[in-house]
Structure 1
Amino acid sequence: MVKRGWCRLVAGLLVALCALPAVAAPAIALGYAPKYPPNFAHFDYVNPEAPKGGRLVLPAIGSFDTLNPFTLKGDKESGVGALVLETLMAQSSDEPFSQYGLIADDEALAPDGLSVTFHINPKARFQNGERITAADVAFSFNTLTRDPAASPNYRFYWTDVSRVVVLDASRVRFDFKRKNAELHMILGQLPVFARSWIPKGKTLADVATSVPVGSGPYRLAVYDLGKRTEFTRDLHYWAANLPIRRGMYNFDRIVFRYYQDDTARLEAFKAGEFDLASENVAKNWARSYRGSKFDDGRIVKKELPHSNGAGMQGFVFNLRNPLFHDRRVRQALVQSFDFEWVNKQLFYGQYRRSPSYFTNSELAASGLPTPDELALLEPLRKALSQEVFGPAVVPPVTDLSIGNREQLKAARRLLFKAGWRYEGGRLVDQNGRPFVFEFLAFSRAYERIVAKWQKDLAKIGITLNVRVVDPAIFQRRTNDFAYDMTVVVYGASQSPGNEQLNFHSCAAARTPGSNNWAGLCDPAVDALLQNFVHFDDRRQLVAASRALDRVLRAGYYVVPNWYLPYHRVAWWNRFGQPAILPKFYDPTGWAIETWWAKPAAKQER
């Protein structure tokens, strides 16, 4: 193992493994120095003196039929994965990608970069009192990557692990098929559950309604399948005094209430059925979060800034449908979407257009390629569109004073070049088949958003149908890629890596349940994806992200949507919050991890 008590550069990655007090742990950062020193007391964005007690009630949309967060099938419960299960390492929320010890109190990357060894904290315990061992870690990994019932995303995420070896009760080693710049760190995100959770001979599918035996700060106390879950704070939580947990998980009880639609959720919030609303609908934020309870301060309404990479939300083309094989067709449909009108008329001007797969971060491409980007792109020039080597592709902008007539004319020209023609007022291909496709959605909100686009497409002879299904059916159809077009989010971390293969690789395109919603299979893209597996420092990672971004944007695989550089959040005024916001966070996770109940609220509730 790498010795404690010193820091060094390993394989070009700054990996700090430093001596700490018995309750602390090593710090690991990908390509930069970790923020927190070996003797840090707590994260800056928490209140270490936060009182314990009280209750936090949160909403969830839809339903759930499984307590197992790992399977491909089933509607998942909202709290088990975050509250009951712990990971090998814990990630801070004010650094791009730094981890600090949790279940593992030491991590050693081999000098050749082909294996990593974790040492299990001797204090780590499951909620049944049993010690967490290396065998539990190996069992968790093998289950998630080999069990046929598990989501394939785990398999893709850790695809470069060849095997896991239990060295003794306290040490487990992961061997790699090849060097992978982030693999030792993303293995730190492995959720660990007890071997006793899954009886011998059974699979994840057999424990759908059985709570994983975890080691987290909360236990599942009560559940009403599909309607409600309640978690209670584990008074014997083994990690409560670690610096990475000090001032966190302060509520005695956390409750999730399930609502079938967004209207019911909003009215329930204003009636006081739950405590925190993170709003995703611009109309609601502009018109529904008002009234006497907001005026007199009983409910707080705020727009909270964040530094989260917004990634790309968009209407994705399913390339498995031959209708979308021609790049010019996809570009024409991108041209025809009038974001400026939608933003003004439906979103109250609140949004910004998403230009990039790494929106709102330094990873997004802009202007002409830099020398670092060209070094990655030039070897693939013959296989790439020449647009890749010019200014980064950005969505068209409509002049609201004259409308999107020019964009529609440009779209029609592209369609004609792609071989489409008019016949009887409809756009048809060379065989006389009309241009018709379906947009699959899980919320009726998208009917309003897409209505203007439907009318504009009809002007150039295209029929767009909208089908809204309930969330469970939507999930099944997206898992099976059974759609022409739907809305997706390509999430972006501050340190992209193996998840990019799950988004864009040929292997993922062929795997049901993966996140390659577009069905993209391009050898040039596959070649670029290798740069997320092998890099030496953050500069190389930034160049790889921008190069991939250019290629994807020039491929027109999505109709770019919109994003916000802040969270729209409202909450009942009975909670305390730390003085400092994290940089990278979601409102629900922020509340669960760092809020506390005010003393009066504890008594009232």
Structure 2
Amino acid sequence: MLLAHLRTGLTALATISMAWVPLVAGAQEPTWRHAISVLEEPKLPRDFKALPYVNVDAPKGGELRLSAEGTFDSFNPLIDRGSPALGTTLVFETLLKTSENEVLASYGLLAEAVAVPDDMSSASFRLRPEAKWADGQPVTPEDVIFSFDAAKQHSTQLASYYRHVTAAEKTGDREVTFRFDEKNNRELPAIVGDFPVLPKHWWEGKDARGQQRDISRTTLEPLMGSGAYKIGAVQPGSTIRYERRDDYWGKDLPINVGQHNFATISYTYFADPDVEFEAFRAGTVDYYQESSSSRWATRYAFDAVKDGRVVREALPNQFRATGVMQAMVPNMRRDIFKDERVREALNYAFDFEDLNKNLAYGGLKRVDSFFWGTELASSGLPQGRELEILEGIKDQVPPEVFNKPYTNPVGGDPQKVRDNFRQAIALMKEAGWELKGNRMVNTKTGQPMSFEILLNSPALERSVLPFVASLKKIGIDARIRTVDASQYINRIRSFDYDVIWSVWAQTMNPGNEQADYWGSQSVGRNGSRNYAGIADPAIDTLIGMITAAPNRDEQVAAVKAMDRVLLARHYVMPLFYTGETKIAYWNRLAHPQTLPEYGIGFPDIWWAKAKQ
């Protein structure tokens, strides 16, 4: 749940948070619970038999062949180094596991129960006695503590996410307790059940060459975990095969029934997205999640689709409880982007309507909120509690948040485009730039405006090229640079870019991760997701109100207020999304007729059909 890969033409880490509904009646002796929930009591009782959306009789066996763009050089899930391999969640487990039928409800996985005091100053987890590593040794509190400490020490993202967790301590033979530095934080008790637990004894041993293992380093050694799969064959940077373990300790747990059905799951990496798609068309890849609306509209007329061997589905499930901001992000660590009028001008140069018509066949929607598509998105003018919150920081926010709803510029026809260009040039002039001849130059230095748009996939270039052409018409020299996955990750982590294309995924319960996205403290911390370089006192105040919100109404009001300020400051140029997960798969795969409300359960609840 912490590190989610979104397939949108690029890989983006989406940190997902949870909040806590008090479930404990007594102040002295907290009650051990089988589950925790965010917005309401967990739907499933302690004695539930299986998740309601799985096929408990799903056949076991067969293979699942998947693809990925880029490369990989590490299986270590707890560090911010290298290019992480896909699929490691098949090998490593967490203390809790979410249900895709509920908005962020979690049930025990490695932990059989969780207990939290009334003031939420800590959270205790009782491990299952049957939980075992692949070598047969039990999962212990020491393993949990070792993994948590390593995560905080070697991952800047996880260190930020868990910054309010001061310690993990062994408090019983099978019990580990996390201590917090603040009380009544609704998020903390849940998110500490969400990091991958690794075997301490394995990492403290030596590899096949007699070398001491090091949790702080990347590695392609097949790591040992407690999960349903183990790492099988590996070709570094190219392919990985995961093999289901017949001796998996948790295969009969109710939270796992009907899942982990494939005997093997493999990933093949491609440098070119078109070659990757052709591999799917040829049948050497079984499943493809489409990120291109134009390809979805024009390139699925091949024979296997026509005769039903390839199935296509557009599913809204994942977006019912996920807000998305996809945007081009100017790096305010660069002087040319510090003035918000410059950033606003860039948005006027982006003609979404033309792009949507000519490249996406009308299949896209313009994003106009950092929580787009959810009840958390701001709209209209602020009212009620949201207005009160904004008035409390009135001297720190743009005046337009009170009198002008945020809207993106609208293009699509020559007159609108000309008007947008005029507005962009006017904003640039106010910011100290002027058009001389065919170049936009700084009035003080005489330097022309020039910057680079860094991408990690050639598939994105066709959507960015029209924007580059539009900028040229107002004298701005923008260039596209597409680099490989490893170089891209390193440059992103060190903020070595002018403009990037990025995605943030938001859950219905924003929390600690907001500080990593937009908080002042994350501006200078390499590896944070504050890609824009936001250091705004108003945003910091609103993040604090979100994480400390005493109830849902207060949280929603604070989130909408923050959304409104982020938009008014023009920190990003909002792009587009479809609001659906577009998938295609060969009919040798199958899934339950009714998928979970908030997900598609892939690959956990899918299976391979028996060969005819």
TM-score interval (norm. to shorter)? over 0.9
Q: Is the partner of 1:491 in helix, strand or coil?
A: strand
Is the 1:15–1:30 contact (alpha carbons within 8 Å) kept by the matching residues of 2?
Answer: no
1:553 — aligned with what? 567
For the pair 1:167 / 2:171, whether they are aligned, the reply is yes
The offset of 1:452, in angstroms, is 1.9
The offset of 1:214, in angstroms, is 1.6
1:138 — aligned with what? 145
Is the 2:386–2:557 contact (alpha carbons within 8 Å) kept by the matching residues of 1?
Answer: yes
Q: Return 62-71 or 33-42, whichever deviates more.
A: 33-42
**Aligned counterpart for 2:609 among listed residues 577, 595, 598:** 598
Is the 1:441–1:487 contact (alpha carbons within 8 Å) kept by the matching residues of 2?
Answer: yes
Q: TM-score, normalised by structure 1?
A: 0.92
Residue 228 of structure 1 aligns with an amino acid whose one-letter code is T
Q: 1:532 to 1:234 in 2, by over 3 A?
A: farther
Is the 1:31–1:537 contact (alpha carbons within 8 Å) kept by the matching residues of 2?
Answer: no
Is the 2:24–2:118 contact (alpha carbons within 8 Å) kept by the matching residues of 1?
Answer: no
- Report matched runs for 1:502-521 at 5 Å: 502-521=516-535
1:61-92 superposed Cα distances (whole Å, 9 cap, x missing partner): 11111121222121111112x10001000111
Number of positions where the alignment pairs a residue of Structure 1 with one of Structure 2: 579
- Report matched runs for 1:153-552 at 5 Å: 153-179=157-183, 180-199=185-204, 203-206=214-217, 208-306=219-317, 307-400=320-413, 402-429=415-442, 430-552=444-566
Is the 2:110–2:127 contact (alpha carbons within 8 Å) kept by the matching residues of 1?
Answer: yes
Is the 1:215–1:237 contact (alpha carbons within 8 Å) kept by the matching residues of 2?
Answer: yes
The offset of 1:333, in angstroms, is 0.8
1:102 — aligned with what? 109
Q: Is the partner of 1:50 in helix, strand or coil?
A: coil
CA RMSD of aligned residues (A): 2.0
Is the 2:63–2:265 contact (alpha carbons within 8 Å) kept by the matching residues of 1?
Answer: yes
Q: 1:168 to 1:521 in 2, by over 3 A?
A: same
**Aligned counterpart for 2:75 among listed residues 64, 67, 75:** 67
2-structure distance, mates of 1:478, 1:12: 32
1:140-186 superposed Cα distances (whole Å, 9 cap, x missing partner): 1001102xxx2211101111011111112211111111122201101
1:92 — aligned with what? 99
Q: Percent identity?
A: 36
Q: TM-score, normalised by structure 2?
A: 0.91
2-structure distance, mates of 1:185, 1:55: 34
Q: Is the partner of 1:531 in helix, strand or coil?
A: helix
2-structure distance, mates of 1:159, 1:440: 30
1-structure distance, mates of 2:408, 2:384: 24
**Aligned counterpart for 1:118 among listed residues 122, 125, 140:** 125
2-structure distance, mates of 1:476, 1:136: 30
Is the 2:272–2:458 contact (alpha carbons within 8 Å) kept by the matching residues of 1?
Answer: no
1-structure distance, mates of 2:177, 2:418: 61
Residue 208 of structure 1 aligns with an amino acid whose one-letter code is T
Q: Is the partner of 2:446 in helix, strand or coil?
A: coil
1-structure distance, mates of 2:323, 2:299: 25
In the alignment, structure 2 segments of 5+ residues that lack a partner are 1-18, 27-31, 206-211
1:8 — aligned with what? none
2:589 — aligned with what? 575
1-structure distance, mates of 2:63, 2:190: 34
Q: Is the partner of 2:322 in helix, strand or coil?
A: coil
The offset of 1:220, in angstroms, is 0.9
Q: 1:12 to 1:340 in 2, by over 3 A?
A: closer
1:97-149 superposed Cα distances (whole Å, 9 cap, x missing partner): 11111111111112222111111111111111111111111111001102xxx
The offset of 1:572, in angstroms, is 0.5
Residue 176 of structure 1 aligns with an amino acid whose one-letter code is F
Q: 1:392 to 1:105 in 2, by over 3 A?
A: farther
2-structure distance, mates of 1:205, 1:142: 11
Q: Is the partner of 1:388 in helix, strand or coil?
A: helix
2:45 — aligned with what? 37
Is the 1:53–1:250 contact (alpha carbons within 8 Å) kept by the matching residues of 2?
Answer: yes
The offset of 1:222, in angstroms, is 1.3
1-structure distance, mates of 2:33, 2:244: 23
1-structure distance, mates of 2:508, 2:229: 28
1:7 — aligned with what? none
Residue 391 of structure 2 aligns with an amino acid whose one-letter code is E
The offset of 1:207, in angstroms, is 5.6
Is the 1:12–1:536 contact (alpha carbons within 8 Å) kept by the matching residues of 2?
Answer: no
**Aligned counterpart for 2:84 among listed residues 76, 82, 95:** 76
1:191-240 superposed Cα distances (whole Å, 9 cap, x missing partner): 11110232278632446123333211111121111111111111122222
Q: Return 187-196 or 280-289, whichever deviates more.
A: 280-289
Residue 171 of structure 2 aligns with an amino acid whose one-letter code is L
Q: 1:262 to 1:17 in 2, by over 3 A?
A: farther
1-structure distance, mates of 2:392, 2:573: 28
For the pair 1:13 / 2:17, whether they are aligned, the reply is no
The offset of 1:25, in angstroms, is 6.7
1-structure distance, mates of 2:313, 2:568: 37
2-structure distance, mates of 1:527, 1:31: 24
Q: Is the partner of 2:226 in helix, strand or coil?
A: coil
Q: Is the partner of 2:517 in helix, strand or coil?
A: helix
Is the 2:434–2:440 contact (alpha carbons within 8 Å) kept by the matching residues of 1?
Answer: yes
Is the 2:35–2:114 contact (alpha carbons within 8 Å) kept by the matching residues of 1?
Answer: no
Residue 178 of structure 1 aligns with an amino acid whose one-letter code is E
1-structure distance, mates of 2:255, 2:422: 57
Is the 2:103–2:321 contact (alpha carbons within 8 Å) kept by the matching residues of 1?
Answer: no
Residue 314 of structure 1 aligns with an amino acid whose one-letter code is A
1-structure distance, mates of 2:217, 2:558: 41
2-structure distance, mates of 1:224, 1:215: 23
1-structure distance, mates of 2:232, 2:71: 18
1-structure distance, mates of 2:68, 2:23: 38
Is the 1:308–1:583 contact (alpha carbons within 8 Å) kept by the matching residues of 2?
Answer: no
1:361-401 superposed Cα distances (whole Å, 9 cap, x missing partner): 11111112131212322221101111222344121122436
Is the 1:338–1:404 contact (alpha carbons within 8 Å) kept by the matching residues of 2?
Answer: yes
